[in-house]
């Protein structure tokens, strides 16, 4: 074929995408086809196909590509319990990704992290606090994870009927949540009930409801099969049951794991052939280069390679990579949108909404801005690391906790700062100075907890004690010892906890008057925390994970069975803080819970409405939560499960009616074979500011009967 041949249909934007893709793939040699199936895809100049690097990240902002707006880490986004806000965040991220991509092209930069295919969101279930990558997820609940994931995917991909704004990539499919040290070789053994009830629902929602055009396979095996070459996960469920038409990408190095670590293939050619034949279309890595040898050996037909390549080229066509820029809706987004003031304000808003007030004894908070003296103490008080989390970009400006406090208090207030100790070392050399400041102050604000240097992905958290994971879930190093000495001064101590996961703070809960959970709050984190501490914002976030009292309340890390006490849905012991828990500076009352029908058939839906009133003297946000309990189930079911939430803002004395629709899928139980069904019997429907039996939540309850 020559460059001027009329068969160059792939460059005609007026032709149907599939016709263009078919013509392009048909024009390629086998070697050229294979070259496009690795994440560093080299250009084919004779066909006008440019270089493209498929690897980009946008977990909570465009990552690893220099300047970008940095929003709170994913676990903090989840703590907002605010679907529409999540969509706004993802839209802002996709604006910046588009702007950076097109500006990079103008500069001749086609490198990694400037593409339009983003390997986000991480929608794995955060089932154990020891997992370092749990910070990247939306928590432990399948429903919350699905709703936040759908909002994020839609915000990334846009709503144009012809073009994708970005390609979103829900990951890691499936049953992937530690140990980091074992992720390249372990087999996640789960029951089919747990698989369908807990580990797959968010992926299903992101594919079927949000239209995610890509999915990333996990490193591990699930039920004996490598996830990137799983007949069950890729063929039967993803494409067969869910009708997925996009492409699957491997996690980085996962195809090599098939033969080197899982030992289910004899070498790279067999691994590549197995993965492609099962439906993994793109290799993050280089093993797919062996597909040429695999064809020669008869391990795979070229036609199977064509199937995968067409999926990949369809994505590139739908992203507008072969079309004139004026035809692509987002090609003209200006580069000055990156880190713009609107996005900074959005980052501040979601950072505020992510903050969870865990304790406020005696109404110590909010603090007066006109205190005589404030001591700001702790290894995380003036740290950029605790703002950014992992998989992050770098903001042009950022506000630490110390800077936030300094900007908030009156000009006549003395503010002193001392780190006191390191994040996880054992030196006490800074104690004396910090305690001295505390003894001379009206209040101590202690910024303690974790950072992404201590918990994270294998190889990234260099201070981790277990390849990114945690072996202990308390405050690391001597932080708790410092807290105890600060408390002993008699000065009130407010703990601001930064982390991407649950931290065991039993002593702090028992002894300190106030505790705020701030997560890794992004570039505006210091301002958001100060707004909450000094009353310019009333905290309204909720915990997307359970804070256990100790590891004794958990089964072994390697055990994936939910019924053994995993997450609030199956945990019978009282934890330190419950999933869905969070306090406010005001109070709320629930009343008049109503069901549109007291009885329904197994295929019917029911409307649930409730009135919520702000009974306190301050404006505040409330997260209205709906839980379902199947009280007459004939098979094992969760004790209760979240099936609706809505974040609302109410002024003092203001009341609002909140409505939910419960459909059959939300009333399902699951058989031993994973088959969902709605069973006749009674269901307890509870709506409140927390779980049904949480005294702080004020839930009201009704009974729904499903007829046989």
pLDDT in tens, 397-410: 999 999 999 999 99
| Edge-to-edge strands, sheet with 606-614 | 588-595, 606-614, 655-662
Point out the catalytic residue in the list 96, 251, 281, 353: 251
Instruction: Please write the tens of the pLDDT for every residue from 286-340.
Output: 999 999 999 999 999 999 999 999 999 999 999 999 999 999 999 999 999 999 9
What percentage of the chain's residues is helix, strand, coil (to nearest 5)? Answer: 35, 20, 45
Cα 486 to Cα 436: distance, rounded to the nearest angstrom: 9
Give the model's pLDDT for residue 370: 98
Q: Is 251 a catalytic residue?
A: yes
Residue with token string 């969870």 = 356
* Residue 696 confidence (pLDDT): 87
Neighbours of 525 (CB within 10 A): 34
Q: What is the pTM of this model?
A: 0.97
Q: How far is CA 235 from CA 174, 244, 277, 382, in A?
A: 13, 10, 9, 49
230: pLDDT strictly greater than 80: yes
pLDDT of residue 1: 39
Helices 17-27 and 302-318: crossing angle, nearest 10°?
A: 130
Indicate the Cα dihedral angle 315, 318, 321, 325, nearest 10°.
Answer: -160
The pLDDT of 585-610, averaged and rounded, is 97
- Which residue in 455, 458, 630, 694 is the catalytic one? 455
Boundaries of every domain in the chain: 36-337, 351-570, 588-706
The C-alpha angle 97, 112, 521, rounded to 5 degrees, equals 50
pLDDT per position as a tens digit, 434-467? 999 999 999 999 999 999 999 999 999 999 989 9
Domains 351-570 and 588-706 share a fold: no
Q: Indicate if the pLDDT at residue 703 is higher than 60.
A: yes
The pLDDT value given to residue 119: 98
DSSP letter for 686, please: E
Report the pLDDT value the prediction gives residue 105, as an integer from 0 to 100: 97
- Could you give phi then psi for residue 83, rounded to 5 degrees? -60, -50
What backbone phi and psi angles, to 5 degrees, belong to 244? -65, 130
pLDDT cut 70: percent of the chain above it: 99
Q: Using 50, 70 and 90 to split pLDDT, how confident is the model at 7?
A: low
Residues ≥6 apart with Cβ < 8 Å to 24: 9, 10, 47, 49, 313
pLDDT band of 561, cuts 50, 70, 90: very high
CA–CA dist 209, 143 (Å, integer): 13
What is the reported pLDDT for 668? 97
Q: Give the helix/strand (H/E) hosting 14.
A: none
The mean pLDDT of 551-578, rounded to a whole number, is 97
pLDDT of residue 178: 86
Secondary structure, 3-state, 354-378:
HCEEEEEHHHCCCCCCCCCEEEEEC
635, β-bridge pairs? none
Confidence of residue 708 (pLDDT cuts 50, 70, 90): confident
The pLDDT of residue 75 is 98
Query: Does residue 80 register a pLDDT over 90?
Result: yes
CATH homologous superfamily of 588-706 equals: Immunoglobulins (2.60.40.10)
What does the pLDDT look like over 232-261, one tens digit per residue? 999 999 999 999 999 999 999 999 999 999
Token pair of 433 as six digits: 């100075």
- 2 has pLDDT over 80: no
Which fold, 351-570?
Rossmann fold (3.40.50)
Q: For residue 447, report the phi and psi dihedrals to the nearest 5 degrees.
A: -95, 105
pLDDT at position 664 is 97
The contacts of residue 357 (CB under 8 Å, 6+ apart) are 365, 514, 515, 516, 517, 532, 539, 541, 582, 583, 584, 585
DSSP 206-273: HHHTT--SEEEEPSSEETTEEGGG-IIIIIIIIIIIS---SEEEE-TTHHHHHHHTS--SSSHHHHHH
| Averaged pLDDT score across all residues of the chain | 97
Nearest residue to 556 (alpha-carbon basis) of 179, 125, 212? 179
For 351-372, the pLDDT digits (tens) are 999 999 999 999 999 999 999 9
Scored b (16 or more CB within 10 A) or e, 71-95 reads bbbbbbbbbbbbbebbbbbbbbbbb
In angstroms, the CA 435 to CA 681 distance is 60
Instruction: Give the CATH superfamily of 36-337.
Output: Glycoside hydrolase, family 3, N-terminal domain (3.20.20.300)
Residue 181 has pLDDT above 90, yes or no: yes
Enter the DSSP assignment of 488.
H
């Amino acid at each position: 074929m020559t460059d001027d041949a009329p068969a160059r249909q792939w460059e005609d934007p007026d032709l149907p995408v599939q016709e263009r893709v078919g013509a392009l793939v048909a024009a390629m040699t086998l070697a050229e086809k294979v070259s496009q199936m690795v994440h560093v895809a080299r250009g084919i100049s004779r066909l006008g196909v440019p270089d493209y690097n498929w690897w980009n990240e946008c977990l909570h902002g465009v990552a690893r590509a220099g300047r970008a707006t940095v929003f709170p880490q994913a676990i903090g986004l989840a703590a907002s319990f605010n679907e529409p806000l999540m969509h706004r965040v993802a839209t802002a991220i996709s604006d910046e990704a588009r702007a950076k991509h097109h500006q990079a092209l103008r500069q001749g930069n086609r490198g990694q992290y400037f593409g339009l295919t983003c390997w986000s969101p991480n929608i794995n279930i955060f089932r154990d606090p020891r997992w370092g990558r749990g910070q990247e997820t939306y928590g432990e609940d399948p429903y919350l994870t699905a709703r936040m994931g759908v909002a994020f995917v839609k915000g990334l991909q846009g709503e144009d009927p012809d073009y994708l704004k970005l390609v979103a990539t829900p990951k890691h499919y499936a049953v992937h949540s530690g140990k980091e040290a074992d992720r390249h070789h372990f087999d996640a053994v789960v029951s089919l009930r747990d698989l369908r009830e807990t580990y797959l629902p968010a992926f299903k929602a992101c594919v079927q409801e949000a239209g995610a055009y890509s999915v990333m396979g996990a490193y591990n095996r699930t039920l004996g099969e490598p996830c990137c070459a799983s007949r069950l996960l890729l063929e039967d469920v993803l494409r067969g049951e869910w009708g997925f038409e996009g492409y699957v990408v491997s996690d980085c190095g996962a195809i090599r794991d098939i033969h080197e670590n899982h030992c289910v293939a004899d070498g790279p050619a067999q691994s590549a052939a197995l993965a492609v034949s099962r439906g993994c279309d793109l290799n993050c890595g280089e093993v797919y280069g062996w597909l040429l040898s695999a064809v020669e050996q008869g391990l795979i037909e070229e036609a199977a390679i064509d199937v995968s390549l067409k999926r990949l080229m369809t994505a590139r066509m739908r992203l507008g990579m072969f079309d004139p820029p004026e035809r692509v809706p987002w090609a003209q987004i200006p580069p000055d949108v990156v880190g713009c003031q609107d996005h900074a304000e959005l980052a501040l808003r979601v950072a505020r909404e992510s903050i969870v007030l865990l304790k406020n004894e005696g109404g110590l908070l909010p603090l007066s801005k006109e205190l005589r003296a404030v001591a700001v103490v702790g290894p995380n008080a003036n740290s950029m690391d605790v703002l950014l989390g992992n998989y992050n970009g770098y903001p042009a400006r950022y506000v630490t906790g110390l800077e936030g406090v300094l900007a908030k208090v009156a000009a006549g207030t003395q503010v002193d700062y001392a780190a006191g100790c390191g994040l996880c070392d054992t030196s006490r050399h800074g104690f004396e100075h910090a305690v001295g400041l505390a003894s001379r102050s009206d209040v101590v604000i202690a910024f303690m907890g974790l950072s992404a240097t201590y918990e994270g992905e294998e190889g990234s958290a260099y201070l981790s004690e277990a390849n990114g994971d945690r072996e202990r879930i308390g405050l690391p190093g001597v932080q708790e010892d410092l807290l105890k000495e600060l408390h002993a001064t008699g000065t009130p101590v407010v703990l601001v906890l930064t982390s991407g996961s649950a931290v065991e703070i039993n002593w702090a809960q028992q002894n300190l008057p106030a505790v705020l959970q701030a997560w890794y709050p992004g570039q505006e984190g210091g301002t958001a925390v100060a707004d909450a501490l000094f009353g310019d914002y009333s905290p309204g976030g909720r915990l997307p994970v359970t804070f256990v009292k100790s590891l004794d309340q958990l089964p072994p890390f390697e055990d994936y069975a939910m019924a053994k006490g995993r997450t609030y849905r199956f945990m019978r012991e009282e934890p330190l803080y419950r999933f869905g828990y969070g306090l406010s500076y005001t109070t709320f009352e629930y009343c008049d819970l109503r069901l549109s029908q007291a009885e329904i058939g197994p295929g019917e839906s029911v409307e649930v409405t409730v009135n919520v009133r702000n009974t306190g003297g301050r404006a505040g946000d409330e997260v209205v939560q709906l839980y379902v309990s199947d009280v007459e189930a004939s098979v094992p079911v969760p004790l209760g499960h979240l099936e609706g939430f809505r974040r609302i803002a109410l002024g003092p004395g203001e009341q609002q009616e909140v409505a939910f629709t419960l459909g059959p899928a939300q009333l399902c139980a699951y058989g031993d074979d994973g088959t969902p069904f709605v069973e006749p019997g009674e269901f307890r429907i509870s709506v409140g500011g927390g779980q049904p039996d949480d005294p702080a939540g004020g839930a009201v309850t009704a009974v729904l009967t499903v007829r046989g």
